[in-house]
Structure 1
Amino acid sequence: MRYAINLCVLPFGVWCVDIYQLKTFVTVAAEGSITKASELLFLSQPAVSAHIKALEDELGLQLFNRTAKGMSLSAQGLALLTKAEQLLQLQKELLLDAKRLKGELHGCVRLGSNRGSSAKLLGQLLNQLSTLYPQLDIRMHYGSSAEIQQAITQGKVDAGFYTSIKPDQALHHIEVDSYGIYIAAPPAWVNKDTQPDWQQLAQLPWVLPEPDTCCGRAAAGLFASHAFYPEKVIKVDQEQMTRALIAGAVGIGLLHAGSALDAELKGEVQLLGQTDQQVKLWFSCQPDRMQQPQLKAVIELVQQLVVQPIECDTPSENR
């Protein structure tokens, strides 16, 4: 099948440019050589020359300067090169969109996840993708929220889930879920019927994650608002461990709402209240990648799933 792109309609007919001529034009411009272009395009050199001549005749412009060293773009050719590249990209996206509509979307999408907080939605998303696009290759990358956010920014993954109080404004982001953060203490450590004595709490050991996590930032805000910092801090990197240490009377800590309420119900911890900050679960990607057919299909599914109520499982990841 051959494709033609209409550039404009003239009174005496339609001015058309063959997509293969555009591809030849862009390849010769990149290589600066008909010989090299013919090898890449799997065409004979006369066929490449014929494509260039036909395109120049159609446009009424000289696209290249022929020199002893090869082919160099003329000023007119240089002016049209970006448009030609854009048209080729649009043609590629059109074909991929057609495959997607037929359920034949191919290619690879690299997704990042911070494990626990996104587990339920991620499971739903992967199930939908495998059903609707069985030939789409999904490659998962796991890490902390900070690691996933950095991987998206650096292009190491195409999109991903991470928790943060605020999203990275340089990224396109979808708010997936939100939940509170509770202050949890071992049972009987503190009188739960009175307001917390923050100076007393400052003298007790605390179990905290790293400062660049959402609970780490929430802890910093909590300490600043009450003008204290714990005398002893035990660093952990997983919420399951934080919960276990609090239940084991090692120290006071912060737990996401799902884990905190479950631990209180089971008598493992005593909740002293919530922090002032809400943690949000985000799905993000780089804005300039949003229209890639594979990623576009993923984003559409995430948006559909977010409309449905999402129960956040007890987080168990390094936040």
Structure 2
Amino acid sequence: MEIHQLKTFVAVAREGSITRASERLCLSQPAVSAHVKAMEDMLGITLFERTARGMSLTGDGQRILIKAEHTLDTHRDLIDEATRLKGHLAGRLRLGAGGRSSAASIGRLLWELSEHHPDVEVTIQHGTSLDTLNGILHGELDAGFYNEATEPDVDLATIEVSRFGIDLAAPVGLIDPSQPVNWQALGEYPWIFPTTSLCCGQVAENLFRTHGFRPRRIMSIDRESVTRTLLAGGIGVGLLHADTAREAQLCGDVDIVCEAQKTVRVMFAHLASRGQDPLLKAVGSILRSGPVW
């Protein structure tokens, strides 16, 4: 039985779908199906029930999954040990870049790895902070950057790499800066922010809860440049990162209503159980050596 067959089996088990597993593994669907069938033929048992909803593990399959994941962990440990013995870092590092990841930190990390560990291949997957966290927790990413909304998951080891603030902004002339904020009146306008964002979504909910209102309409926009354009066009009120809001204010595009969140931390994270991974230890050392902005 080949390691790549075990990896395919675990991917299908986690995704519950040949199609999603093939996308995750960058393999064709026939290849994924062939790997699963080869394992079933070799083991002499049925691992999955094929249904209209996808692939569901049988009882035997569930027991094999535990052993397969343990075998893959052991295989990774073997590779790590061989790397230590060779005295240099090599391999693939899958990084997630979620939310407003620190471009400076990512750039410095890539430069350091390229300069001092040229045999490390880095791939970066962009998405939301939630995408990055789920990718790390499910083993689809080795590590990643995300915007912290709550206390870090206990299964994660984290490093703060930067921080930023969030402002509530409105079209020019919509509010009177000399008067207290009328939250009920603001609730009549569309609110623009990325509802899928861990930090912005939570900041917005905190504002609604604190001031006892809820907007009649929420527009979920995950691109800050689009949010800024909509605000400048008078479409509604919305959340912008503090530096973007202040730049837009200087340009006469928006007025700042208030500071919605003083500090949001950008974190680097990986599974705590992989704390001794040589490559992740090297990455952590690089990030800790730089300043937190």
Cα shift readout 1:67-86 (whole Å, capped 9, x = no counterpart): xxxxxxxxxxxxxxxxxxxx
Relative to structure 1, the CA distance from residue 253 to residue 150 in structure 2 (aligned partners, 3 Å threshold; closer, same or farther) is: same
Counterpart amino acid of residue 274 in structure 1: E
Matched, 1:299 2:284: yes
Counterpart amino acid of residue 119 in structure 1: A
Match of 2:125 in 1: 141
The answer (yes or no) to whether the contact 1:185–1:252 under 8 Å persists in 2 is yes
Q: State percent identity of aligned pairs.
A: 35
Shift of 1:170: 2.2
3-state SS, counterpart of residue 147 of structure 1: helix
Match of 1:126 in 2: 110
3-state SS, counterpart of residue 291 of structure 1: coil
Cα shift readout 1:98-125 (whole Å, capped 9, x = no counterpart): 645xxx3211111111264322211111
3-state SS, counterpart of residue 132 of structure 2: helix
3-state SS, counterpart of residue 280 of structure 2: helix
Match of 1:163 in 2: 147
Which runs of structure 1 show a deviation greater than 3 angstroms over 4 or more consecutive aligned residues? 88-95, 97-100
Within a 5 Å distance, the mapping from 1:268-307 to structure 2 comes to 268-276=253-261, 278-305=263-290
Within a 5 Å distance, the mapping from 1:69-218 to structure 2 comes to 93=80, 96-97=83-84, 99-100=86-87, 104-114=88-98, 116-166=100-150, 167-210=152-195, 212-218=197-203
Matched, 1:254 2:243: no
Any stretches of 5+ residues in structure 2 without a counterpart? 1-74
Larger mean Cα displacement after TM superposition, 162-171 or 247-256: 162-171
The answer (yes or no) to whether the contact 2:101–2:147 under 8 Å persists in 1 is yes
Any stretches of 5+ residues in structure 1 without a counterpart? 1-87, 311-319
Relative to structure 1, the CA distance from residue 237 to residue 193 in structure 2 (aligned partners, 3 Å threshold; closer, same or farther) is: same
Match of 1:223 in 2: 208
The answer (yes or no) to whether the contact 1:214–1:279 under 8 Å persists in 2 is yes
Relative to structure 1, the CA distance from residue 277 to residue 154 in structure 2 (aligned partners, 3 Å threshold; closer, same or farther) is: farther
Relative to structure 1, the CA distance from residue 254 to residue 133 in structure 2 (aligned partners, 3 Å threshold; closer, same or farther) is: same
Question: Which is greater in Rg?
Answer: 1
**For 1:136 and 1:90, how far apart are their aligned partners in 2?**
17
Shift of 1:93: 4.8
Relative to structure 1, the CA distance from residue 98 to residue 254 in structure 2 (aligned partners, 3 Å threshold; closer, same or farther) is: same
Counterpart amino acid of residue 84 in structure 2: D
Matched, 1:266 2:243: no
The answer (yes or no) to whether the contact 1:160–1:285 under 8 Å persists in 2 is yes
Matched, 1:237 2:195: no
Shift of 1:309: 4.8
Counterpart amino acid of residue 170 in structure 1: D
Relative to structure 1, the CA distance from residue 123 to residue 244 in structure 2 (aligned partners, 3 Å threshold; closer, same or farther) is: same
Cα shift readout 1:132-181 (whole Å, capped 9, x = no counterpart): 10111112211111100100000101100011222223211111222221
The answer (yes or no) to whether the contact 2:147–2:199 under 8 Å persists in 1 is yes
RMSD: 2.4
Larger mean Cα displacement after TM superposition, 143-152 or 191-200: 191-200
Relative to structure 1, the CA distance from residue 97 to residue 258 in structure 2 (aligned partners, 3 Å threshold; closer, same or farther) is: farther
Counterpart amino acid of residue 199 in structure 1: Q
**For 1:141 and 1:174, how far apart are their aligned partners in 2?**
19
The answer (yes or no) to whether the contact 1:171–1:284 under 8 Å persists in 2 is yes
3-state SS, counterpart of residue 117 of structure 1: coil
The answer (yes or no) to whether the contact 1:205–1:234 under 8 Å persists in 2 is yes
